[in-house]
Amino acid sequence: MPPRPAVLTKRTLDKDLDKITHAEDAAKHVLRRLVPPGLGLIFVGLAMLFAGVYVFDRPGAMLVIAAAALAGYMAMNIGANDVTNNVGAAVGARAMTMGQALVIAAIFEVLGATIAGGEVVKTISANIVDAVQVPPALLGWIMMAALMAAALWINLATWMNAPVSTTHAIVGAVIGAGISAVGPEPVNWRVMLEITSSWITSPLIGGLIAAGLLYLVKTLIIYRDDKIAAAQRWVPVLVAVMAGGFMAYMVLQLSPSGKFQSFTIILIGIGIGLVSWLAARPLVLAQARDLENRNSSLRVLFKLPLIGSAALLSFAHGANDVSNAVGPLSAIVHSVGIGGDAIEHPPLWVMLIGAFGISVGLLLFGPRLIRLVGEEITKLNPMRAYCVALSTAFTVIVASWLGLPVSTTHIAVGAVFGVGFFREWYTRHSKRRIAYIRRKAESWDIDEPEEPNIHETRRRYLVRRSHFMTIIAAWIVTVPVSAALAAMIYWVMFALFV
């Protein structure tokens, strides 16, 4: 008998359709993971086209276009890895959503890079390896190798979920490529000593400022009997200090040298602070209406200053860390004689590649590390996060004003640990806190809380210190690894192209 023909039943059809649906879902999942790298590749291509418009048909144009691609790639890696420190605290404290944090950081990164990023660019492009002592042709290849090495190392670190210092990476890469090309003589070791000392002192300064701010917040607001009334009085003052300090920095950065005396700049800062206080006071009073007199209510009142400090930190980061991407590009533009004195005054198109590259990298690849920095290093509430963000911002701003390429990562982590260590001390020694707890215990007619479990307390503190040691280890590894990688890339480039 001939075999019976197959009958396509409804059940068989449903199974086949389910298989097709699963295959489509799998394909969408795979394609979704390819979208960010694809958009990043498009941005690199646009950076090359953007540079080509300015250097087309000029000597060394191909080198500059290739360097623009590497600078765009480096800037995206900075955005993916380093910008997480700016808004991680605010997201971890749930003061803003991930989408809000990404938009705020992207906007203020661009503003900081284009408005106030020039001074640190000069340090990276000319002061680490003396551009005067290096032949222009070699200087271009040194910076190309440095860009590629630093970008590759940061890309690897981001893939491994490790927030490393992009500043350490580019400085180490410039030194490694410079020594491999012309030896140690052109390296400005005095500038390197200044930069290295700032890497050590800036986290300590950030931690001390954060601890001092948290002391004021606890003393003036948290451990007061009427917390809401105290917050209504002092939160607008904190907003005023933040706005006034930022405006004083902007006047100092943007005005011609010597136009304003220090006293005048201070008066401008005080004036802007007063206006900000007048604007913030009714907003805080409106937010405080009908809030209960408890610590959880303070989270609502600290959202405004925390969002402001996160925006300020993004601006400061853009002003300082854009140099990590466009400093070498400025040196290459200068080495081929395009754009005048690109070291003293980087062209606007060079700054724009770095500024938008940082924002693109943040938007495409930043959310994962934002969660890591904001939620896994330490537990943050809006008050602590505000202290971390504002202290980091002011430390980075001062470093940018002095032309020092500091590590935003280490300043932010230093501020986090400053807050943590201060909380340990304050919990054990604060007379105001002890008196506050006793008053509450008496008013609630309960026994005074017992001392916390010492073993559990030490265990939690040791976890925090382990994070600190991890950051130190990453600091120690980043500079030599990027230097060695840059040296190898330089020799490969020299053998193939020079």
Tokens, residue 185: 């003589």
Q: How many CB atoms lie within 10 A of CB 2?
A: 4
Average pLDDT for 359-370: 75
Q: Is pLDDT of 456 > 70?
A: no
Higher pLDDT, 423 or 65: 65
**Phi and psi torsions of 258, nearest 5°:** 85, 0
Given this model, what pLDDT does residue 447 score?
43
What percent of the chain shows pLDDT beyond 90?
A: 6
Residue 457 has pLDDT above 50, yes or no: no
Band of the pLDDT at 3, cuts 50, 70, 90? Answer: low
Half-sphere exposure of 252 (CA within 13 A, CB side): 20
Q: pLDDT: is 326 or 254 the higher one?
A: 326
In the predicted structure, residue 209 carries a pLDDT above the cut 70: yes
pLDDT value, residue 89? 65
Q: How far apart are CA 183 and CA 193, in angstroms?
A: 18
| 452 band by pLDDT with thresholds 50, 70 and 90 | very low
Is it the case that residue 28 has pLDDT exceeding 90? no
Q: What is the pLDDT of residues 166-204, one digit of tens each?
A: 778 888 898 899 888 888 887 778 777 877 777 778 888
Instruction: Look at residue 448 in the predicted model and tell me its pLDDT.
Output: 42
CA distance 343 to 125: 6
Q: How far are the Cα atoms of 235, 245, 261, 343, 398 from residue 258, in angstroms, in the given order?
A: 34, 19, 7, 22, 18
Q: Which pLDDT value is given to residue 343?
A: 59
* pLDDT, mean of residues 138-159: 86
CA-nearest of 207, 386, 415, 392 to 305 is 386
Q: How much of the chain is helix, strand and coil, in % rounded to 5?
A: 80, 0, 20
The pLDDT assigned to 384 comes to 80
Residues 149 and 485 sit within 8 Å (Cβ to Cβ): yes
Q: What are phi and psi of 424, to 5 degrees?
A: -60, -50
pLDDT at 149: 93
Per residue in 410-432, pLDDT (tens digit) is 787 788 788 878 887 777 766 66
Q: What is the mean pLDDT of the chain?
A: 76
More confident residue, 332 or 378: 332
Tell me the C-alpha to C-alpha distance, in Å, between residue 431 and each of 137, 219, 425, 436: 65, 10, 11, 8
Instruction: Look at residue 455 in the predicted model and tell me its pLDDT.
Output: 43
Q: What is the mean pLDDT of residues 20-38?
A: 63
- Res 378: pLDDT: 56
- Least confident residue range of 29-33, 97-101, 150-154, 187-191: 29-33
pLDDT, tens digit (0-9, with 9 covering 90-100), for 249-303: 777 666 665 566 777 878 888 898 899 999 989 988 888 888 888 877 888 888 8
Pick the more confident residue, 295 or 380.
295
The DSSP 8-state label assigned to residue 127 in this structure reads I
| Highest-confidence segment of 297-306, 334-343, 455-464 | 297-306
Q: Identify the weakest region by mean pLDDT among 107-121, 433-447, 468-482.
A: 433-447
